[in-house]
Structures are given as structure tokens and as C-alpha cells.
Amino acid sequence: MLRARGYDIPESVTVIPFDEFRSRLAARDHLDLYAESDAKAATYVKFFPMGTKKLHQSSIEKEVNAVKSKLTKPEGVHIVFVCEEAPQSNLQNLLRSQRFRDVEVLTYDQLQLNPTEHTLVPHHEIVPTEEEAGILQRYNCSRGNIAQEFPKLLASDPIARWFGMRPGRLCKITRISEVTGRSTYFRLVK
């Protein structure tokens, strides 16, 4: 998932056999991961051991503070918590707030399947902010009315979650068909 988001991941981390990963997770062995991308973005992934109770607001705040205290430059770091169970609705609402906009909670089940490898899923990518102005101009659209002009892609969509797409960003979808050939579509993440 982090490679799909453009992060440099060491090969030693990605070749851990699943059984070893599970045993290290059960033993509460250190599995946390810090990754940086070429675009000067950084992500910290924290794995919660199997059997950990559901996350609550206080535990999220405590873990965010603990992660930020470990980092030398905590500003702008995207934090991904991976746990066994999906967060409850009140925690999901909290994660949508401005204060936690750089925090994401995923489950182990969501990470077991890579949705981009499915044969029926077209190629998705986040449009860089530098290219957005050109796309808006090409479709005679302004940033002010982009929400009315572009079709939507929900931020809760599996592909949007896989790539870490945030509301307000443009997603480029490239479909290849025998009938129409190569087609490019754009969706606004909502």
C-alpha cells in the first residue's frame, strides 16, 4: 500500500513471510514503519497487536502524541494505525475533523487484498496539485465550482483508501477497453 502511495519501502520489510509477521505481531514485537516519498511526504504506520480492544478517542489522541514525540519532524507526517477491528462511528467522525486530518485507521483485513491488482479495476492515480489547474482549464471548470462539475469518488471507496486520497483532490482513472481504447476519466474525492 505504501509503495502505491509513492513511498520508498526497504525490501527487507516487504518480504517478511505472513506467518512470521503474525507471530511478531502476537508477540508485540516492534513492527512500526516510517517511510518517506520523493515528494517530501512522510508516513508513520503503527501496528496494534492482534487482540487489542477497539480504539477510542482517548487512545487515538495518546497514540498520535506518542508517535509525534518519536519523530524529529512531526509536522505534516501522515499517521496510519492498523488494528484488528474497524473504528466505531464516533471515532470515524473524529478522524474526519481538521485536528486528525492526517490520521487514518485501517484494519488488517483491508490490507490483505490489494484492490489495484484486480483485473476489473482500472488504473487510478492522484492528480498532482500542479496539474490540477491545467485539467480544470481543459474542462472549462474553476476551483470554486469543481464540486458541481466533476463526478465524485467517495473517500471511503476501497481504492481511495488504498491510495490515501483526501477530499478535494482529483483522481485520474485510465480505462483500457477493446471497444473504446484508452479512456481517461477524472473524479473528485468527496
Q: Please check whether residues 49 and 85 belong to one and the same domain.
A: yes
Q: Residue 1: what pLDDT? A: 78
**Mean pLDDT in the chain?**
83
C-alpha distance from residue 99 to each of 16, 34, 95, 150 (Å): 34, 21, 8, 27
Q: Please check whether residues 80 and 132 belong to one and the same domain.
A: no
Q: Residue 186: what pLDDT? A: 94
Measured at the alpha carbon of residue 141, what is the angle toward residues 140 and 142, in degrees to the nearest 5?
130
Q: Please check whether residues 120 and 91 belong to one and the same domain.
A: no
Domain containing residue 102: CATH number? 3.40.1350
Q: Please check whether residues 41 and 88 belong to one and the same domain.
A: yes
Could you give the 3-state DSSP secondary structure of residue 50?
coil
CA distance linking residue 123 with residue 81, whole number of Å: 26
Q: Please check whether residues 24 and 106 belong to one and the same domain.
A: yes
The pLDDT tens digits for 107-126 are 888 888 888 888 889 999 99
Q: Is the pLDDT of residue 143 over 80?
A: no
pLDDT class for 30, splitting at 50, 70, 90?
low
pLDDT class for 27, splitting at 50, 70, 90?
low
Count: domains in the chain: 2
CA distance linking residue 68 with residue 72, whole number of Å: 8
